[in-house]
Structure 1
């Protein structure tokens, strides 16, 4: 094979692997959650031409370990675990699998809404331990309630479509959305506070940046409705987890559905995991076969296009403003 691609995590699907082979690339998989130092050692030893990021932190030492590195592609859309500045300094483009997992993530957000509102995991566990709580269960109905969507990219748009049969009143907050964006079935609001105070369900779909880190904290929970449900299928760092624990324990809000955590994998002793009104999944929004296939194929093709000197998909490039690679 002419090229090497380091995959930081489990092996890619058969389709993506076949495309890599057809385009002359050998894949080097590293299935466990490796530290940056471990990944840097692998990169120094293997000298990959590209890195496909499935898990782990890709920092300056990892990026600088291979003199042959020409491109980095995220097996997903969140890139806060990649040091983009370090890639910029070496003129290495960073890509995301734009749109590949949007449907799957939106569907999980939709599912978490029901799981929290109807206490599905708790009731399932109770039945399996010999209890029958029909008379005492008090689930919440979602029909006709209000939904606040923070971040109106592809995932947020799909979620808005999914809730239409529920006749929910939908409000959108996204300060980066162009003013002329058409939203036929939702109201655009001008502040996060308007979402917090007016929504029965709040779903986060924004990237983790210095501006959005801990954007939902103690002050924000105080503004939310006592029967509110918070859904996060984006990044764990968007929420102050200590404040969330207190809000859920003390009844400040009703429940939360979390697919991401500030530290991943989540620690078994994380206090949030002890609460009955929290439903959690292991950052599995994109963990469907359809999404894995699409993300792997896009990641491989993004890197191979760079290595083969082909036209690049600038829409999927994170650092296109810093690089003249069109």
Structure 2
């Protein structure tokens, strides 16, 4: 009897589907981009799934408990705040992420958003298409020689640090979870978030969303940022208090923002942030390159299959290891 793996959201790439078939797995895709937990649970129960590959939607305890055969959950990416990892641990199910699969693509988008906001590209593009020629009134920010603050130095943050080296930017990093003896090539470490915010012309967020990091950037933090500075978020929308950011952008307290992620996704078209000319928004597409999609699908599938085939879970990719007491 083949294994059954539920894919929440779009189907995996043909290459990943071929590997799944070769390893004796049947992939079931729910189709809807953001299916509700109730819809996912209904499919999980009906199909008696053995594994889940999470692309979109929330995997709650209701989903996890729907199939007694469920043994592994893998994220098609690295952000796992849409998975109830504690509930999975209570059911003895490892949750694994596709470490490194999309790091380059996400870092490149953060890099692109820095330029797009600094040079007001989206607004100028819209003005040009509306018949205006704003050459005399436009004044962008040159990034060379400026300072970049990176919050969270995982693989994505490290790649971004490398990407900005030709710009001769001063790079500072804040990551309280990074061991003190870790060497940061091309950057210096700061002791607090406030210090990083106060000394950076551009701030780029690259940390996971946890209870400790929710609304990491709020009114108090924005008040410490340099006037005219730029905030980039390609990590998780919940890291920023969106009401506070709206006020800061509207009032010109900071220069601009580039957001690929939002607190609620898909974003409500009535979200006031979308009315601001100094905000550039993209629909959570940091990992949306073919290279990243191919890698994420294959890695996520491999994580699930290794567990189902009795090879065990990769502890380096497991995000609920402490609850499961796995080293």
TM-score by length of structure 1 reads 0.98
- Aligned twin of 2:24: 24
- How far has the Cα of 1:324 moved from its partner? 5.0
Q: Which residue of structure 2 lines up, in the alignment, with residue 299 of structure 1?
A: 300
Which residue number corresponds to residue 63 of structure 2?
A: 62
- Residue correspondence of structure 1 range 268-307 to structure 2 within 5 A: 268-307=269-308
Shift of 1:5: 0.5
- 2:134 aligns with 133
Paired residue secondary structure (2:17):
helix
Q: d(CA) in 2 for partners of 1:219 and 1:311? A: 45
Partner of 1:234: 235
Q: 2:42 aligns to what SS in structure 1?
A: helix
Deviation at 1:40, TM superposition (A): 0.9
Residue 3 of structure 2 corresponds to which residue in structure 1? Answer: 3
Separation in structure 2 between the aligned mates of residue 233 and residue 74 of structure 1, nearest angstrom: 17
Instruction: Provide structure 1 residue ranges, at least 5 long, that are not aligned to the other structure.
Output: none
C-alpha separation in 2, matches of 1:4 and 1:87: 18
Aligned length: 326
For each residue in 1:115-136, what CA deviation from the matched residue of structure 2 results, as whole angstroms up to 9, or x when unmatched? 1000111111111121111111
Indicate conservation of the 8 Å contact 2:86/2:323, yes or no: no
1:216 aligns to what? 217
Q: After TM superposition, list the pairs within 5 Å mapping 1:110-125 onto structure 2.
A: 110-125=111-126
- Looking at structure 1, the residues matched to 325 and 136 of structure 2 have their Cα atoms a distance apart, in angstroms, of 65
Query: Aligned equivalents of 1:267 and 1:31: distance in 2?
Result: 21
**Superposition RMSD on alpha carbons, in Å?**
1.0
5+ unaligned residues in a row in structure 2: which ranges?
A: none
For the residues of structure 1 that align with 2:322 and 2:250, how far apart are their CA atoms?
44
- Structure 2 CA distance for aligned equivalents of residues 258 and 29 of structure 1: 29
Out of 312-321 and 264-273, give the one that drifted further.
312-321
Pairing 1:309–2:310 present: yes
Hey, what does 1:156 align to over in structure 2? Answer: 157
Q: How far apart are the structure 2 equivalents of 1:205 and 1:277?
A: 21
Find runs of 4+ consecutive structure 1 residues off by over 6 angstroms: none
Superposed counterparts of 1:67-106, under 5 Å? 67-106=68-107
**Aligned-partner Cα distance in 2 for 1:52–1:311:** 17
